[in-house]
Homo-oligomer: A and B are copies of this chain.
Amino acid sequence: MEDPARSYFNCTDSERATFEAGIKLGSVYHQFVGTPLSEENVDLTEKSIEEGVRVQPFVEDVSVRIDRSHLRAKRSPYRYVSLTGNMLNVKLTVRYGLSTAVCELSYLEELKYPLMRVVEVRGQS
């Protein structure tokens, strides 16, 4: 898709691709952390987050997985949890011009941190 905002940017295609990927990963995290979650709505929540990413510019592919190990069937009124960043795994591919950035959000045990990272940049820098 052509970019009507191109003239507002001053960077290479690959820098733009990683910039756009960063925006999407930051937005997933800060928009959806806190969402009420149980076994009943986890599938739908994953799909809804994916679609919320897909409507944003230059997204080629995205998949969202929520770690179900913290979820519980709703046997008490309080048996649900809030989505946290540590439960999120997001794989995201952004293409801008000739460059493609493959990025990921996943919890890193070593850093005790939900790291957003650039897995690979393809195409002209």
Contacts and interface: CB of A to CB of B under 8 A. Distances in A.
Interface string A49-78: 001111111100000000000000010111
A62 B52 CA distance: 22
Interface string A92-117: 00000000010100001001010111
A73 to B, nearest CB: 11
Instruction: Give the secondary structure class of A's interface.
Output: mixed
A38 interface: yes
A10 B119 contact: yes
Contact of A31 (B8, B21, B35): B35
10 contacts: A5-B111, A11-B101, A11-B120, A12-B14, A19-B21, A19-B116, A21-B22, A27-B30, A45-B51, A57-B77
